[in-house]
Amino acid sequence: MNTVKNIFARIWALWALVAFVVTFLLIFLPAMVSYLIKDKRKAQVYFIFISKLWMDIWLPLAGCPVKVMGKNNFEKGKTYIVVFNHNALLDVPLSAPYVPGPSKTIAKASFAKVPLFGWFYSKGSILVDRDKETSRIKSYEEMKRVLALGIHMSIYPEGTRNRTAEPLKQFYDGAFKLAVDTKKDIIPCVIVGTKKAMPVHKAFYLLPVRLKMTFLPPVSASQITAKELKEKVFNLMKDYYVQNN
């Protein structure tokens, strides 16, 4: 039975990859129009609109439609730092497109080198090379500028995919220090289903699974240290994930 399942999952992964490439090529030129829009916030609003349209098409084709809950926790006119749990590569196309309003994601600089896709990826991201301190400092300052423009920042505080048996990896400090420094509230977002659809220890593997994203109520970054904020958000996300996974 496991052999059949593994064969199916790899065939399905191939189908999803083909669908990803074909749909990407369809939305590529419309997405690139965002580079022509001078107002950075309006450019990101447009870019996210195209990105969400793409995911609304591709995710059902891949057998992984997503249900998004808790969007009412975003107060109109406010800018947030949105933090996500991270179990699979499948989390990545979910993070920015389904955040209400314009947003950017902190992301690996290496992916920007992929032909064509790199241009799209760069528009939706603040790029960072985690091995270089100068790059980390530059990206941190860029995140501050993005937030000041009224654009949400999407961050994976676990840093990389969770390969442990625990619900969440321990969080890094960056997102929470940024929240305290900029006085921007944090909205935790818990993604459920991607771990089953794309197990981190299996290569080129995808199962059709219904995904869920839940935006939890905002957590204030006022009158709290970055360490305390990190622990508070970690516990909120861990409890929700355990109860709803």
What is the full per-residue pLDDT of the chain (245 aa) written as tens digits?
688 999 999 999 999 999 999 999 999 999 999 999 999 999 999 999 999 999 999 999 999 999 999 999 999 999 999 999 999 999 988 888 999 999 999 988 888 888 889 999 999 999 998 888 898 899 999 999 999 999 999 999 999 999 999 999 999 999 999 999 999 999 999 999 999 999 999 999 999 999 999 999 999 999 999 999 999 999 999 999 999 98
- On whether the CB atoms of residues 59 and 211 are closer than 8 A, the answer is yes
Which residues, at least 6 apart from 97, have a Cβ–Cβ distance to it below 8 Å? 48, 51, 52, 54, 55
Q: Is 173 helix (H, G, I), strand (E, B) or coil?
A: coil
In the chain, beta strands by DSSP E = 66-69, 81-84, 103-108, 125-128, 152-155, 186-192, 211-215
- Backbone angles phi and psi of 162, in degrees to 5: -75, 105
Q: Which helix (H) or strand (E) holds 51?
A: helix 40-61
Q: How far apart are CA 215 and CA 48, in angstroms?
A: 18
Which residues, at least 6 apart from 160, have a Cβ–Cβ distance to it below 8 Å? 86, 169
Question: Using CB atoms within 10 A of its CB, is residue 122 exposed (0-12), middle (13-18) or buried (19+)?
Answer: middle
Q: Per the structure block, which two tokens stand in for 85?
A: 């749990």
Q: Per the structure block, which two tokens stand in for 108?
A: 């690996």
Bridge partners (DSSP) listed for residue 219: 186
DSSP state letter for 91: G
Q: Give the distance, in angstroms, between the CA of residue 153 and the centroid of all CA atoms in the same chain.
A: 9
What's the pLDDT score for residue 1? 65
Q: How far apart are CA 182 and CA 81, in angstroms?
A: 10
What is the sign of the dihedral through the CA atoms of 12, 169, 131 and 112?
A: positive
Amino acid at 216: L
**Measured between alpha carbons, how far apart are the two ends of the chain, in Å?**
24
- On whether the CB atoms of residues 48 and 102 are closer than 8 A, the answer is yes
